[in-house]
Every structure is written in C-alpha cells, then in structure tokens.
Amino acid sequence: MQAMQPILMMLVMFGIFYFILIRPQVRKQKEHQALLSKLGKGDEVITRGGVIGKITGISDDGVLVLELQEKVRVRVPRAYVEGKWEGKVPEGAEKRAA
C-alpha cells in the first residue's frame, strides 16, 4: 500500500492541474477559433497589436484586409485578430499588456 501513495498523489495533482489550468485554456482557444471563423466583411476587429479596423476583404489563405481609415488598408493574418471591437478591450488583453 505504501508504494501506491506517490502514484496516487501524482494522479490527483494531474487531475487538479487538468481542471484548473488545461481545460479552461482549451475551451477559450476553441471559442477564439469559432470567433475567427465567423468573421466577415464589415466587422470591426482589434488585432493582438492593438490595431482597430474594419474588415474589407478576406482572402482564401487566411489574410484579412483591414481598413484603418478611409483609403488606408493593411493586410493582417486571421490568427492575429484578437476579437471583435465593441468599443472596449477584449477580456484578458489587459493581463497580457502588463
């Protein structure tokens, strides 16, 4: 019985880590992927770098064309979009900036 205690403790610790750290991160990543797949023309988005713009074009290779100002456009990979811009910073972005 003494030999099983360290193995049992390691399994309990892994279970705690899974439910506290790994599972919420995977869920958040899936939600972000779903958001990225729903983006379309006319949506206002914010990038990881803090650039806010309106989507004016989407290419097949995953690159978005953002209009920052009238006649000012930039190309951004879809993966660099943090979320939709609703006049406030998306949740969690403040933590990464600090």
Q: What confidence tens digit (pLDDT) does each residue in 58-89 have?
A: 988 889 999 999 999 999 999 999 999 988 76
Strands (E), 1-98: 44-47, 52-58, 63-69, 72-77, 81-84
> What are the sequence ranges of the domains in the chain?
1-38, 40-87
- Which one of 2.60.120, 3.30.1490, 2.30.30, 3.40.1350 gives the CATH number of domain 40-87? 2.30.30
pTM score above 0.75: no
Neighbours of 24 (CB within 10 A): 10
Rounded mean pLDDT of 7-16? 92
For residue 68, which of 87, 92, 51, 47 has the smallest C-alpha distance? 51
